[in-house]
Structure 1
Amino acid sequence: MSRALSVFLSFLLILSLGSYLLYNGGLIDWLVKAPWFQGAALLISSIAGLGIHFGSSAIKKNPSWDQGNESLYILLFLLTWGTLSFYSYLLESLMTYGIGENDLGIGKGLTLKGSIVGLIISILIVWINYSWIAYAQFSKNTIQQLRNERNKEELQYRLLRSQLTPHFLFNSLNTASNLIATNPDQAENFIRKLAYNFKHLIKNGIQPLNSLEQELKIVENYMHLMNVRYGEKVILEKRIKPEALRQQLPALAIQLLVENALKHNVASQEHPLKITITADQDKVVVNNTITRKPEQIPSIGIGLTNLKARYNLYGNQQISIQESQACFFVNLPFIFPSIPK
């Protein structure tokens, strides 16, 4: 609300109350014939209006006003009611002084009437302000929630799209083709694992969160496919505390890190790629040894950036990345759905 509008509404409130009290007390005709008292009434009305304006402005500048601080609403109520009651007292005193002692029945009771009307007006003002702030906060939270849900769906779509790349499918089918000619039994098992992998990618990829137990099953199935291709060149080691299995992570987070380790390193018999997954009650740590870097690999921009963005939607938890000459570490804190952003 602009300052000019606030001043105007404050004056309008005071003048409306003053007009009601004067009309109700039968003082309108007398006041019209008394110019000096008109100026005095206008003066005290102006002072009361400025008091309400500056007082309410100071209260609403408090940072906790928009958060619905109850003490500030009580203070606004007391300010409004006190100002209106005091204004009614001044108006009654002015009328009594102007009329004199001969007409004691005229102009009496303005303070009491003004206090009662001021009480009702103050309650209405506080209720309107509180309702407006509550509605604005509700609208803001609703819009933010809708944006977060949209961002989650977009990130999930991009994640799922990255998992279903033609490059991975081509390599897997090529491996299966070679196995059919050399080891039919292993080829059948490989194809079943490949189908299981795609099934769970689609099923779990559309979920925002998975339990650590589900994530480990997906990684184990994925590593079975990789072991057929790489053999002992790739080693997966797990150190998981049982109480951590029910904790939740963004869907496919661990598999994404395992894939990155395979994508950005070259495994060999002399320098095998070792991937270690450890978990306690607070976090999961995925680390891998660093071997010779592969040649430039095409990327569609999904990876740690996607993972960081998904973490941002669930509060203040952040992944941390550390790298040494020999190892690459990523810490994934568990996510608790009770504290979404």
Structure 2
Amino acid sequence: MSKTQLYWTLQLLGWTIFIMYDFVFYSAEYGFDTSYFLLSIANIFLAVTLTHLYRLVIRRWNWSSLPMLRLVFRVGFSVLILATIMTFVNLPIDRQLLAQNIVDHPFVFWNYFSSWSKTLLAWVLSYTVYHYVEQTRMTELEKIMLKTSMREAEAKVLRSQLNPHFTFNALNSIRALVMEDPLKAQHSITQLSNILRNSLLADRRKTVDLREELKTVEDYLELEKVRYEERLSYTIKADPQTLYWQVPPMMLQTLVENGIKHGVSRLPKGGYLEVESILEGNFLIIQIRNTGTLGSTDSGGVGLLNTAERLSILYGKDAHFKIFQEEENWVCAEVKIPMISDGLHRFSGETPVARDAN
């Protein structure tokens, strides 16, 4: 049953029970009166109409968002207006139909007015409180949705960032290959297009399979090897159970780029980079190790700050990112991602990914 259907059911049923209850007691004491029965039916529809008008007013001018003092004043004034209308409609008719029964009451008007005021106050308060609570709940929900939308917008910006210097360097490297090794140049163009395509698609997807992200990383490292040649060696190792875990797109590429830019590239003889993924309980651990020292590795750059922020947005406080000096000449960037649902990772049945490039 919808809220509208429930509202009308309670309206009709509630006023019918209340007014017919009074009619039954009157009939038990004075006997059945057709005119009074018709008046009772008319009162049901009048009460439904007046209280529904109150509902329209409170919704139209959004009274539930008013300060409490102003809301109380409007509720009290509304009850007085509704009770006055019901009294002025009923009293003249009752004076004709029930003159012999009400003639002995010296304060007939105030008795009628008091009775209707109490009844209508109960209805008005019930509906106003319900509407106030509902409005408060909707406001809180809108705040949550707005906050979620803002965080999603932030995530889109963060995951779509690709260092333009890499693109320029890759194009220059490919240009040098065109005459020397056309086939390798063609393969490098394919690898660059794959990276660019994934970068463009990154703002449309919250997460991707780890195996897809590792393929992007491999394409990136192969392009960097064109530029650094023998100065860069790398290995990619992945537990087969991690290949279908969901990770933020272009995240690993950012960390690998950081390792090369601030680690390997600054060493005269070049260096080594390793990407490894393992499972620890319900967590995926990804480590990017590179030769170098933390003092020469960007530990507070935009790329690394973006990584921490993206993990927080997607996975909350259970996700972690840190970069540290693992050994004397080794820097490690570690990402820890929780399993956020049973469907986020599947065992692929494939052999572990292990790629070495020297």
TM-score by length of 1: 0.59
Partner of 1:239: 238
Partner of 2:335: 331
The 3 A distance-change label for structure 1 pair 121 and 173 is closer
Deviation digits for residues 65-86 of structure 1, max 9, x if unmatched?
xxxxxxxxxxxxxxxxxxxxxx
- Distance in 2 (CA, whole Å) between partners of 1:191 and 1:200 is 14
Deviation digits for residues 102-145 of structure 1, max 9, x if unmatched?
64894768886555434422332233213322432343244334
Partner of 2:139: 136
Comparing 264-273 with 315-324, greater Cα deviation is found at: 264-273
Partner of 2:259: 261
Partner of 2:311: 311
Query: Residue type of the partner of 1:234?
Result: S
Q: Shift of residue 337 of structure 1? A: 8.7
- Distance in 1 (CA, whole Å) between partners of 2:175 and 2:83 is 94
Q: Shift of residue 205 of structure 1? A: 5.5
Pick from 198, 201, 214 the counterpart of residue 199 of structure 2.
201
Please give the residue correspondences for 1:158-169 in structure 2 after superposition, counting only pairs within 5 Å: 159=161, 162-163=162-163, 165=164, 167-169=165-167
Q: Shift of residue 287 of structure 1? A: 2.7
Please give the residue correspondences for 1:1-341 in structure 2 after superposition, counting only pairs within 5 Å: 1-2=66-67, 4-6=69-71, 8-9=73-74, 12=77, 103=105, 106=108, 113=116, 116-157=119-160, 159=161, 162-163=162-163, 165=164, 167-204=165-202, 206-228=204-226, 229-231=228-230, 233-242=232-241, 244-266=242-264, 272-280=271-279, 281-291=282-292, 302-314=302-314, 316-317=316-317, 318-324=319-325, 326=327, 327-334=331-338, 336=340
The 3 A distance-change label for structure 1 pair 128 and 113 is same
- Distance in 1 (CA, whole Å) between partners of 2:139 and 2:199 is 40
Q: Shift of residue 3 of structure 1? A: 5.4
The 3 A distance-change label for structure 1 pair 312 and 265 is same
Alignment check: 8 A CA contact 2:210 2:246 kept: yes
The 3 A distance-change label for structure 1 pair 4 and 179 is closer
For residue 324 of structure 1, give the secondary structure of its aligned residue in structure 2: strand
Alignment check: 8 A CA contact 1:208 1:251 kept: yes
Number of equivalent positions: 256
The 3 A distance-change label for structure 1 pair 325 and 247 is closer
Please list every run of at least 4 consecutive aligned residues from structure 1 whose deviation after the TM superposition is greater than 6 angstroms. Answer: 20-26, 107-112, 293-297
- Distance in 2 (CA, whole Å) between partners of 1:17 and 1:181 is 92
The 3 A distance-change label for structure 1 pair 128 and 171 is closer
- Distance in 2 (CA, whole Å) between partners of 1:219 and 1:286 is 13
Q: Shift of residue 323 of structure 1? A: 0.8
Q: Which blocks of at least 5 consecutive residues in structure 2 are unaligned?
A: 1-65, 92-103, 343-358
Alignment check: 8 A CA contact 2:174 2:185 kept: yes
The 3 A distance-change label for structure 1 pair 150 and 241 is same
For residue 287 of structure 2, give the secondary structure of its aligned residue in structure 1: strand
Which is helix-richer, 1 or 2?
2
Identity %: 18
Comparing 266-275 with 323-332, greater Cα deviation is found at: 266-275
Query: Residue type of the partner of 1:193?
Result: Q
Alignment check: 8 A CA contact 2:156 2:202 kept: no
For residue 316 of structure 1, give the secondary structure of its aligned residue in structure 2: helix
Query: Residue type of the partner of 2:221?
Result: M
Q: Shift of residue 192 of structure 1? A: 3.1
Alignment check: 8 A CA contact 2:159 2:250 kept: no
Root-mean-square deviation (CA, aligned residues, Å) is: 4.1
Comparing 1-10 with 306-315, greater Cα deviation is found at: 1-10
The 3 A distance-change label for structure 1 pair 231 and 293 is farther
Query: Residue type of the partner of 2:334?
Result: V
- Distance in 1 (CA, whole Å) between partners of 2:285 and 2:213 is 11
- Distance in 2 (CA, whole Å) between partners of 1:154 and 1:120 is 51
- Distance in 1 (CA, whole Å) between partners of 2:303 and 2:115 is 72
- Distance in 1 (CA, whole Å) between partners of 2:106 and 2:340 is 72
Deviation digits for residues 255-289 of structure 1, max 9, x if unmatched?
11001100111356967323232132422322313
For residue 246 of structure 1, give the secondary structure of its aligned residue in structure 2: coil
Alignment check: 8 A CA contact 2:238 2:277 kept: yes
Alignment check: 8 A CA contact 1:257 1:286 kept: no
Q: Which blocks of at least 5 consecutive residues in structure 1 are unaligned?
A: 27-101
Query: Residue type of the partner of 2:73?
Result: F
